[in-house]
Structure 1
């Protein structure tokens, strides 16, 4: 018998007996900030990850982070949008739109997603309603301790590094490039995974030293291929993918793609019809949040303030626009 069930109770009765307010915490806008399911949990900045034994349950909440802090305000619907976008790209892998060249080269591309349906063992324990549309059931994997970053345009930490040295992670770039300029070819610039604070960009030699040349080369090749194929798909829908980061893990002796994939939380998306190199671009992510915090009197060393409703609304609309453009609904 499930530890939360009672003799003679049906699954629906068991679920309804579990107090939703104890399992799910929402803010005043209806954003889901926390989940407390009766399974072992690991909590990240945005996702709550539960161990279901043979699989993992990844719940995308509506939490939002900035400058390495989780904010007290959520972005309503953000978790569902992130999940739908990851599923969009996983479906493209399954259909062969992404990774076809890898398969031809004898390197089939696999990912960790098994299902987006709420598992019975979870639905029997809690009200599944708040989880619908925001969960992924995935395979377990031994995580590769590097972020696999691919850059197709010059922005963010890459732009800062280029200004300082003319290169990014040991990759020498032509002189005279402008902010947000498209690179002649996408470049692979790995980063170490930090438990706290920022990841650190490193040359691929660091990855080779730790993982071996064969594994590092496979990660580089897989990352560049996924990015290039995804960028073609996005471009047909009027979206530019400036850069992105992938995570991989070992499962049954092979590397598979894990975590979220090509979402506004792991990538920069720009509208192709607005793209103007030489300046920062309007992006489909938490740009409004970062700009508001930078303009506020917050010192970045204390708990961050709640977001004004206007900023929450604008950020929600920005995330939604990016997802709709990718789905061809814009």
Structure 2
């Protein structure tokens, strides 16, 4: 009688995306595969897939005799895949000379093994209107999706490359300063690239023995690297102030004599797509004139001379002031007040 002698064999199994299967010719003789739980990337890298065959026959005494084959063990290799996307809801508004401006991205490990990724910014993109000045990449250490200076960790390539589990992701911030020359409506592209530390290349490229769990590492459909753009949009605003004067003399004319009343009109015009915060207009009372109390108006509505109320107008004895608040482009505000010639 021939005795079956069990023995162990081990191979590597590469669970590849469908797009790669047509590009690579290989056959793995497996009778049955047991799937590990990982819905997007497939069976986890390093998972052993074992199969043992059985044979049985009737013995001379009528008993059923069974024998087992050797166990064929196949190790699942690691697929290297990554995805990068901008997670800002749209262009991020900014202004000339603004500092510490933030664009937000997400890096996702789309492979089936634990993998670290290097991060690279690019602020000098072709085809946009200006190039921001790169400051640093920051990792969202506390995972709240918001850049927290002094809390989130500054990225240094090769020392704290994000290490992600399969399906794991991390939020990344690119911090930039805006130069002084962009104008309203200018747009700048800033790209974040991520690449697998194990290696990149054309899909199907293999790194022997470099996979998570002891198998090989195989480059997936992304080439094991990816990038995504984010955008700054300059939303600048400017204000111009036009002043005019109308004279009424005591005789019903327009001569400037003692007792004449001068009505000054100030028109503030805001242009651009940005916002001017806490806009305030002030005007000193000219020499040889006296301010006429309670003549200050905004958009035709009377303002008090005291700054103790909430109407925004005030006279401090030497000048008038009107607080206009935060104003965006394509708006005007008209202020009037009167003085009398001494």
TM range (shorter): under 0.3
Which of the two has greater strand per residue?
A: 2
TM-score (norm 2): 0.19
Answer with 1 or 2: which has the greater Rg: 2
Higher relative contact order (CA 8 A, sep 6+): 1
TM-score (norm 1): 0.19
Which of the two has greater helix per residue?
A: 1
